[in-house]
């Protein structure tokens, strides 16, 4: 049965679905959802491009940051933590973890020795590919599943996870705030307005979101909830998030008055304002990536309310420059991580270029019971592109 029919059947049984529920089905239905139907969706043959697609350099630089965090998180008076958790959320098939482990094994033996890897991924197809992707490092994988572990002493990190979590869409009308629902009419999926759900009402109030009449935007209780859950799992260590988004003052402003919800297909961005008869996210559910920009202010607030300390927020450009500026350690891999010098420079340019991954992606780092260290990745934290 096509996913469209599954969704229409659910609407007939329960009424129109909040956009967040529809988005969750479109992306994460266990058999028919976008992420369930393939272990990998990015890269030249996919629908979008991520930092991981630039090659192993991204993982190499993250490994340098993790090595510093490993040293800083060690119990006082010891050289290193006996077991150091590295938990990747939204891990996919494990490509980024493989890049981190390759470089840690070659350049940071202490980190590699103590590292205990957990890969968190909802897609069964992606999880099934993780052992093969990790290759010689498969023995480092302590746990793989759909949920965060209950206790983490080390690092939880996620690259472009929060932007893929389901969002609710709301519109400020002359009569007040209304929520966008998905309904089925004459064999087509359509949007309709309805009452604001309690979760959305609580989120809007909690984070002080204010909209002008006519504005449409997205809110993500799921993203805030995930950050809260991650913070509670972290007993000691760091939470590192990389994603694209804006501070609340920009996200809820005339600049984004029609919202940021969009689809990616074959490296083309599809939005509601590009002349389509219907919103692109309602076309062929399960065939397109659906995403919205992250409310960085809400992420930071949720983390701090759950007991984490904000260590810094910086553009990916300056995060990676801070790591690269420290130079390779003396025992770094002599082949430069498997890249020849020209390819290595091109990969670095891809990761840093303003207007691309470098400036659209932000890095947020939080700590728990680790003080307020001057992390290498935050060396240029006062700079932005």
Render pLDDT for 255-265 as a digit per residue (tens, 0 to 9). 999 999 988 77
pTM assigned to the model: 0.89
What is residue 385's DSSP assignment?
-
What gap in Å lies between CA 190 and CA 276, rounded to an integer? 13
- Determine the pLDDT at residue 285: 92
Residue 173 in contact with residue 211, Cβ under 8 Å? no
* Residue scoring higher pLDDT (137 or 343): 137
Higher per-residue pLDDT: 379 or 340: 379
Handedness of CA 239, 240, 244, 245 (dihedral sign): positive
**What is residue 351's predicted lDDT score, i.e. its pLDDT?**
65
Euclidean distance between CA atoms 237 and 99, whole angstroms = 21
- Which tokens in the block code for residue 125? 């197809």
Of all residues in the chain, what percent carry a pLDDT higher than 90?
67
Residue 372's closest CA among 311, 313, 312, 307? 311
Question: Residues 6 or more apart from 341 whose CB is under 8 A from it?
Answer: none
pLDDT at 200: 97
Q: What is the mean pLDDT of residues 364-376?
A: 96
Is 229:238 a contact under the CB 8 Å cutoff? no
Domain ranges of the chain: 1-166+220-380
Over the chain, what is the mean pLDDT?
87
Closest CA to 292 of 223, 193, 194, 198: 223
For residue 375, what pLDDT is reported?
A: 96
pLDDT at 155: 98
Res 48 pLDDT > 70: no
* Closest residue by Cα to residue 107 from 375, 327, 342, 345: 327
Neighbouring CB atoms inside 10 A of 28's CB total 19
pLDDT in tens, 152-184: 999 999 999 999 999 999 999 999 999 999 999
Task: Please write down the long-range contacts of 73-81, taking CB distance under 8 Å and 24 or more positions apart.
Answer: 73/153, 73/154, 73/155, 73/236, 73/237, 73/238, 73/370, 79/110, 80/110, 80/113, 80/114, 81/114, 81/153, 81/154
Digit-coded pLDDT (tens) for 317-346? 889 889 987 654 333 444 444 556 666 666
Among 1.20.120.420, 3.40.50.12710, 3.30.1120.10, 3.20.20.70, name the CATH number for the domain at 1-166+220-380.
3.40.50.12710
Q: For residue 267, which of 242, 282, 289 has the smallest C-alpha distance? A: 289
């Amino acid at each position: 049965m096509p996913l469209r029919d599954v969704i229409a059947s659910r609407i007939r049984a329960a009424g129109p679905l909040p956009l967040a529920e529809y988005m969750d089905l479109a992306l994460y239905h266990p058999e028919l959802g976008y992420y369930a139907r393939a272990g990998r969706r990015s890269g030249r043959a996919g629908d979008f491009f991520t930092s991981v697609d630039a090659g192993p350099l991204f993982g190499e630089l993250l490994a340098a940051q993790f090595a510093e965090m490993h040293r800083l998180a060690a119990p006082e008076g010891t050289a290193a933590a006996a077991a150091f958790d590295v938990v990747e959320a939204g891990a996919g098939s494990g490509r980024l973890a493989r890049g981190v482990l390759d470089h840690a094994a070659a350049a940071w033996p202490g980190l590699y020795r103590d590292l205990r890897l957990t890969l968190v991924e909802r897609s069964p197809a992606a999880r099934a590919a993780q052992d093969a992707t990790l290759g010689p490092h498969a023995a480092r994988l302590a746990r793989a599943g759909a949920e965060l572990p209950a206790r983490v002493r080390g690092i939880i990190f996620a690259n472009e996870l929060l932007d893929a979590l389901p969002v609710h869409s709301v519109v400020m009308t002359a009569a007040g705030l209304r929520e966008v629902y998905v309904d089925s009419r004459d064999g087509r999926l359509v949007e309709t307005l309805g009452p604001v759900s309690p979760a959305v009402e609580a989120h809007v109030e909690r984070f002080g979101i204010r909209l002008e009449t006519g504005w449409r935007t997205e809110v993500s209780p799921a993203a805030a909830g995930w950050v809260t859950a991650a913070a509670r799992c972290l007993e000691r260590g760091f939470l590192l998030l990389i994603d694209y988004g804006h501070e609340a003052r920009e996200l809820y402003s005339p600049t984004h008055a029609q919202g940021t919800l969009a689809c990616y297909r074959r490296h083309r961005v599809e939005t509601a304002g590009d002349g389509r008869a219907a919103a692109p996210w309602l076309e062929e559910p399960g065939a397109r990536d659906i995403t919205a920009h992250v409310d960085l202010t809400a992420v930071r607030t949720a983390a701090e309310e759950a007991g984490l300390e904000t260590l810094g927020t910086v553009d990916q450009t300056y995060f990676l420059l801070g790591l690269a500026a420290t130079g390779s350690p003396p025992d770094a891999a002599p082949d430069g991580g498997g890249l020849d010098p020209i390819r290595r420079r091109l990969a670095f340019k891809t990761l840093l270029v303003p207007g691309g991954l470098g400036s659209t992606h932000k890095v947020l780092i939080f700590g728990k019971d680790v003080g307020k260290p001057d992390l290498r990745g935050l060396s240029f934290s006062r700079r932005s592109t």
